[in-house]
Structure 1
Amino acid sequence: MIDDGEAKEIKRDYLDILESLLKLIHAKAKEKGLDPSKDVHIYSSSSKVYQGTLGESPSKNLLTPTIVENLKKALSDPKNSQGAISIKIGHEKVFHIKNGEVLTDKLGLAPRTQKNEVVSNERIYSVEALQKQVAVLQSKLESQQKLVDSLKKNEQTPESLSKLVAQVEEMSNALLKQQQLI
């Protein structure tokens, strides 16, 4: 059986966790340009269990230590959370998780998954960007071809030799970059 001292400590712990979660939501909302002075609504399954503004007494607080733990787990380890948790700021849904799947996370509350990091490291090119790169490469190729043609005709001037040295260095650097990418 839990005595009064332990019960008060458990309640204080869960209130500390709740306050830190509300501060996190408030900070993330501010960071994303949302108005954090609006009421924060927290739903567990489809029931509203909390409504309030940071720093003020909540107008509704049906949170239990179990729900606070579920909320904490939904934000820190969403894949292993059970049930549904959603958070609204004003009337806008900013976070929703259901059975381990993050459905909405406008504030970036859930930690990024490994899959997301891999996707973000891939480069995505538009057709227009690729066409511009091809045009730049073609113009470089044409200028190099002119230089090679002048060398074939033995029209070597100090200027053409310095251009050639610079182009060889540039190609060497480009080759090193490509090898590092590979």
Structure 2
Amino acid sequence: ATRLLSATCLLLLTWVNCSSVRMATRIQDVFTVGKLLALGLIIVVGLVQIFNGNFEALTPHVAFSQDRTPSVGQIALAFLQASFAFSGWNFLNYVTEEVVEPRRNLPRAIYISIPLVTFVYTLTNIAYFSSMLPEELLSSNAVAVTFGEKLLGAFSIIMPISVALSTFGGINGYLFTSSRLCFSGAREGHLPSLLA
């Protein structure tokens, strides 16, 4: 059932991206707003926890309690995992033809989005640590879902739905940008004309 749902989502989003640029961008806008609302909820709940005095995991003696020296491999893995949050900036360059005044708007988008993503994800991680110990974070398959189960009570269903919709939006963004790369390559004669 999971693979069927995944295949259906891929086919649906591929069809949307082949059919209409406008529809694909609207879908992307909706899922981006949904992701930001979910992250905003996590941040607000986390800040409420902190203001209520639940910040033990943020104190240095707890946060750095593991007596081990990090290896180069662990540091590299941390950078790799953190880079996922910033992977979208690279795809922005693929849609240059779709952007109005790209010489002005592409740098602006990059200069605004990277600090914004850094700010939002830093606050999100602080919110996670307001109610979860490092061991809980490391053992969780979906930290947002675990966070929701701990703090949102009856509303915890919001988090798995938000994670699923965020994934859907991420796939749409990837298909939107990657298809533009193939389209441009085919139009320039570097790829089969079927892709144009």
**TM-score between the two structures when normalised by the length of structure 1:** 0.27
The structure with the larger Rg is 1
- Which structure has more strand as a fraction of its residues? 1
RCO higher in structure (CA 8 A, sep ≥6) = 2
- Which structure has more helix as a fraction of its residues? 2
